[in-house]
Amino acid sequence: MTDENTQTPDRRAIGVFDSGVGGLTVLHECLVNLPHEDFIYLGDTGNFPYGPKSLAEVRRLAFAAAARLASEDVKLIVVACNSAAAAALPQLQSSFATPIVGVVMPGARAAVQATRERRVGLLATEATVRSNAYQNALHTLDAGLEVFAIAAPRLAPLIQGGDVFSEEIEGAAREAVAPLKAAGVDTVILGCTHYPLISPMLRRLLGPHVSLINSAEETAREVAEILARKEIDNDREREGRYRFLTTGDAEEFRDVGARFLQLPIREVEQT
């Protein structure tokens, strides 16, 4: 093992992509936990949302996004979109030389650790539920788990659209969690990176005895572990930079994205 004091810093950025601005919740956790690293975030807002699309189409879009980040010579790619990770992560990992991590396994691992009754709910997009990626990951970790997967197609577009405290969003959230409450789950995975923005609402609707699993937090921990294990982390004494790319409207991305990132977004490049 290379001595920590003599390790050469790897100054390349970490790439993060999502179908829209939801992955900024993942980037936020990475910025908090890895303040010395540089990041490039690609929001594929021109093709948002991924959830209703076929798995083949989501896979195609995921490959295009990963290739765009790889062209920036990033040292690690984070698939911060649950739909893309669910549809394409193994294929991406086998096709690119750059290490790639998704949000599915970190979230599944945290859910298995959190559940007491081994009854786990998944709230996600249609594409993520259809892929069975979370269900397979959970059963790989604990074959005895009961998993209740609920698609909530209305939530991500409503959350991205603006007012996360609206009655319309509350109605959609109430409708989505009703079957999970009926199933008696004690743990719910937020299987879309948009959902952390309505965590307080979901906590109230599900009740205090249900654990919410935010894949963003778990993914940031996994990124830190990978950087350390591969010895490709940057100098810890510096403050990292971050920049943004979007396939959609740059000004709209900047305005909406700041709510998700909880930090200023000064410039956005259209790509």
Q: Which of 66, 108, 107 minimizes the C-alpha distance to 84?
A: 66
Cα–chain center distance at 43: 12
> DSSP state, 13?
P
> DSSP state, 21?
S
Lookup: tokens for 212 = 């919410």
Q: Is 81 labeled as catalytic in the residue annotation?
A: yes
Among 81, 84, 101, 226, the active-site one is: 81
Task: Give the span between the Cα atoms of 5 and 8, in whole angstroms.
Answer: 9
> DSSP state, 243?
E
Q: Is 30 labeled as catalytic in the residue annotation?
A: no
Please name every residue paired with 41 in a beta bridge, in sequence order, or none if there are none: 16, 244
Task: Give the span between the Cα atoms of 229 and 71, in whole angstroms.
Answer: 24
Confirm if 120 and 148 have CB atoms less than 8 A apart.
Answer: yes
Exposure of 147 in the CB half-sphere (CA atoms within 13 A):
25
> DSSP state, 210?
S
In angstroms, the first-to-last Cα distance of the chain is 40
Confirm if 179 and 148 have CB atoms less than 8 A apart.
Answer: yes
Among 16, 34, 192, 220, the active-site one is: 192
**Tokens 């879309």 correspond to what residue?**
192
Question: Would you please indicate which residues are annotated as catalytic (active-site) residues?
Answer: 81, 192
